[in-house]
Structure 1
Amino acid sequence: MATERLIPTETIIALDTVPIRFGLGATEELGYELDRLGIRRAMLVTDRNLRQFGLVEKVEGIARDAGVELEIFDHIHVEPTDVSLREAIEVARKSRPEAFISLGGGSTIDTAKAMNLFSTHEGELLDYINKPIGAGKPVPGPLKPHIALPTTAGTGSETTPVIVLDLLDQKVKTGISHRYIRPTVAVIDPLNTLHCPPMVTASVGCDVICHAAESFTARPYDTRPRIPNPAERPAYIGSNPIADLWSQQAIRWCATYLRRATYNPLDIEARSYMLLASTFAGIGFGNAGVHIPHAMAYPVAGMVKEYWPPDYDVDEPLVPHGLSVIINAPAAFRYTAAAWPERHAELAELLGVDTRGMPVRAAAEAAADAIQQLMRDVGIPNGLEELGYGEADIPGLVEGAMKQQRLLVGSPRPVDADALAGIFRDAMRYW
């Protein structure tokens, strides 16, 4: 009798991650990594704004000292779009480098991932974009070497199997997800984050909180249908004992250090632990996945009206990814707490709430309160209304969120359009 008949639910935890080089001055080891991988011709994908801090020139020098012929692509769009990625992919297809080096935040690293994917394999964006928006085809095979050097403590993109982008015509964010998309190695240097201004630090740090909290509370892996073919196993498998370890520690560090990093930019200890938290959360959610707050975030970012985020150097309205996620989180976790109160109570404790003597349900709901207080402390806007949304926008927001079934399936509590409408309504204003 086939195994899937005996055990109808998943039993396998498949954890993939990236080799990591972490620490003050880790950038100096880039040359060693390039030589170890046998790279002699690479494309450096970076944000031109980093030149003012000397980061681009530093990486250029290290690579060229290692004997690597370097081509530079620095036309990065904050929060990549289908248009910006197609332009970047065209450059990569013409150049055909042996490898990629990415220096920047999640937008830069995700752009490099897309350039790598589409210069290695044939196809168009919609071929690989997740269903139901795209065809959701699996990536055919391994990609070229990619060394990622993050400059923000947020997305954890240096460890994840995901490319996130905006589809401009549909006004929705979506993604491409496959284990082959992960970078080859991550060189993680806290010194590269010291330039981040307060609200960028706060926004990307809130993304870390949500990555870790969502993966920690995601529907458990062993409640999902068994995957008979390992090649078809999704990158996001649900919460599990291995991913939980990474997510738990990331939550603790965020609760301790995000406020300090936001208001004391040169606090090396806080910067270091927030970057570790970002990396740990990336490993956790890159395996377990995220759920309702991220699904809701995609239309919040995609339907932006006139919101101009403080401290971001942009020439168009923008809801940064971390902000679009955290703005929904308290309402979403209040909704999911009823389905798994014990896990949500543990989340509250990780966030610093003294849950001793509390009934489990009260402790579970305290997790949302703790996230809400963290938002207030680091200057996050008070709900969707402050981003320009109102009751009339809820149908469009729900429609966009419902397209994110890859994420919504990870919710510990089933969610439909009516439930999402209620969560969006609750997220309009918090205090």
Structure 2
Amino acid sequence: MQFDYYVPTKILFGKGQLANLHSQKLPGQKALIVISSGKSTRENGYLARVEEELNLAGVLHIVFDKILPNPIKTHVMEGAALARKEGCNFVIGLGGGSSIDAAKAIAVMATNEGDYWDYVTGGSGQRKPVPNDPLPIVAITTTAGTGTEADPWTVTTKEETNEKIGFGYEKTFPVLSIVDPDLMLTVPPHLTAYQGFDALFHSTEGYIAKTADPISDLYALKSIELIGKSLAKAVANGKDEDARADVALANTLSGMVESLSSCTSEHSLEHALSAFHHELPHGAGLIMISKAYYTHFANIHACDDRMIAMAKALGKTDATSAMDFVDALCALQSACGVAELKMSDYGIDGNNLEKYAANARETMGGLFLVDPARLSKEDCIRIYEESFR
């Protein structure tokens, strides 16, 4: 039995924790606050609260507010240029996974020359080593979806080539993360569901991946259990503080799973969809392909014991077969009102699914290597076909 454990982020978890930001040892004197291009961070008062905390700490700050739901390289480079121009010496990602992911990428490029894609290791990335340490990163999450507050990963799209690729290394872990479920009470039901299933799949993929270890297994099963217990409740009543806290903890645990294990090709297959269709929420794309994806592994008996364990964690305590997990997954999607999502509603071309299968392998082919069994190109196309409507 061997494993490496490295999750160096300090995490403040729980109701009201944002109010403790000013009392923390912050990693600099001037922050670039990275938020989305939407209105919610300002309208809900979250930006103002963070700025007040920084004022109490005597920390200067400026705001970069262009991040899209699927972050793009152009904005990474623009945010990094602003950080350099303004003399910022740390970056705060405030918002959902997109804002925090973008903050990590901006932190890398604020201290390094060239283009962000010089350092990306997939697709057309140049795979160069990063010469200078990134700026320190503080993550303040207002959603429960990506687990990015507890892992080093960031996902960015290169618009010119439709490549959506993950990147990260030990230096892109946040030094401090605040997970305050109070900041999630305003997330609307459909986004609560999309984000919750993203967190679920980080844990299920990390649990069936070849890279799983005894510690990631503990975190994964607990995360799956919490989502099975409380995601539908959070979708039905966004003001349910206990449900929000459960899903927030599940999300943070899923980030730890990602730090210790890995995603599988489910994420590669979804990234190929949202790389071409930027308006497709990542979690929604994962939901669309998930039934066919896990049914494939159940049918070939690639990881029966692990799928049975996931079914039990998700609430089907009498599970005896791998398909019991698929049944529990579909039941949860129905309970959350997302079982009928359609690829065609987002402009995905059902007559050209080979394009997405090829993109998945070309950009994030490494994740196929940790699948519990080999997925062929034909398998990928069939998963898309069975998912399409």
Shorter-chain TM-score tier: over 0.9
Once the two structures are overlaid, the 10-residue window that deviates more, 383-392 or 253-262, is 383-392
Q: What is the CA distance between 1:335 and its match in structure 2?
A: 1.8
Q: What is the CA distance between 1:93 and its match in structure 2?
A: 2.7
Taking every aligned residue pair, what percent have the same amino acid on both sides?
28
Please give the per-residue CA displacement for 1:51-88, whole angstroms capped at 9, x wherever unaligned: 11111111101101111111222222221012222222
Contact 1:159 1:186 in 2 (8 A): yes
Q: In structure 1, how many angstroms separate the alpha carbons of the residues matched to 2:378 and 2:136?
A: 44
Q: Which residue of the partner structure matches residue 310 of structure 2?
A: 347
Contact 1:328 1:383 in 2 (8 A): no
Q: In structure 1, how many angstroms separate the alpha carbons of the residues matched to 2:124 and 2:286?
A: 20
**Structure-2-length-normalised TM-score:** 0.93
- 2:374 is paired with a residue whose SS is coil
Match of 1:177 among 168, 171, 188: 168
Q: In structure 1, how many angstroms separate the alpha carbons of the residues matched to 2:91 and 2:312?
A: 41
Please give the per-residue CA displacement for 1:216-248, whole angstroms capped at 9, x wherever unaligned: 1111xxxxxxxxxxxxxxxxxx11111111111
Q: In structure 2, how many angstroms separate the alpha carbons of the residues matched to 1:196 and 1:137?
A: 38
Q: In structure 2, how many angstroms separate the alpha carbons of the residues matched to 1:283 and 1:249?
A: 12
Q: In structure 2, how many angstroms separate the alpha carbons of the residues matched to 1:182 and 1:15?
A: 10
| Distance of aligned partners of 1:57 and 1:418 in 2 relative to their CA distance in 1, 3 Å threshold | same
Q: What is the CA distance between 1:271 and its match in structure 2?
A: 0.7
- 1:186 is paired with a residue whose SS is strand
Please give the per-residue CA displacement for 1:163-218, whole angstroms capped at 9, x wherever unaligned: 10122222231121212111111111111111111111111111011111000111
| Distance of aligned partners of 1:105 and 1:407 in 2 relative to their CA distance in 1, 3 Å threshold | same
Contact 1:160 1:283 in 2 (8 A): yes
Q: Are 2:389 and 1:423 equivalent residues in the alignment?
A: no
Gaps of 5+ in 2: none
| Distance of aligned partners of 1:411 and 1:38 in 2 relative to their CA distance in 1, 3 Å threshold | closer
Q: What is the CA distance between 1:145 and its match in structure 2?
A: 2.2
Letter in 2 for 1:243: S
Contact 1:345 1:355 in 2 (8 A): no
Q: In structure 2, how many angstroms separate the alpha carbons of the residues matched to 1:77 and 1:388?
A: 18
Q: Are 2:333 and 1:333 equivalent residues in the alignment?
A: no
Q: Are 2:12 and 1:39 equivalent residues in the alignment?
A: no
Q: Are 2:11 and 1:20 equivalent residues in the alignment?
A: yes
Gaps of 5+ in 1: 1-9, 220-237, 305-316
Letter in 2 for 1:376: S
| Distance of aligned partners of 1:182 and 1:387 in 2 relative to their CA distance in 1, 3 Å threshold | same
Letter in 1 for 2:290: A
Once the two structures are overlaid, the 10-residue window that deviates more, 370-379 or 136-145, is 136-145
Letter in 2 for 1:341: D
- 2:124 is paired with a residue whose SS is coil
| Distance of aligned partners of 1:382 and 1:99 in 2 relative to their CA distance in 1, 3 Å threshold | closer
Match of 2:96 among 99, 102, 105: 105
Q: In structure 2, how many angstroms separate the alpha carbons of the residues matched to 1:333 and 1:148?
A: 32
Q: Which residue of the partner structure matches residue 93 of structure 1?
A: 84
After superposition, residues 230-245 of structure 1 pair within 5 angstroms as 238-245=211-218
Q: Are 2:355 and 1:366 equivalent residues in the alignment?
A: no
Q: Which residue of the partner structure matches residue 227 of structure 1?
A: none
Q: In structure 2, how many angstroms separate the alpha carbons of the residues matched to 1:372 and 1:299?
A: 23
Contact 1:162 1:177 in 2 (8 A): yes
Q: Which residue of the partner structure matches residue 302 of structure 1?
A: 275
Q: In structure 2, how many angstroms separate the alpha carbons of the residues matched to 1:178 and 1:129?
A: 11
Contact 2:284 2:341 in 1 (8 A): no
**Structure-1-length-normalised TM-score:** 0.85
Match of 1:409 among 364, 369, 372: 369
Q: In structure 1, how many angstroms separate the alpha carbons of the residues matched to 2:375 and 2:259?
A: 22
Contact 1:79 1:107 in 2 (8 A): yes
Once the two structures are overlaid, the 10-residue window that deviates more, 58-67 or 380-389, is 380-389
Q: Calculate the aligned-residue CA RMSD, in Å.
A: 1.8
Q: What is the CA distance between 1:396 and its match in structure 2?
A: 0.7
Contact 1:130 1:177 in 2 (8 A): no
Contact 1:138 1:178 in 2 (8 A): no
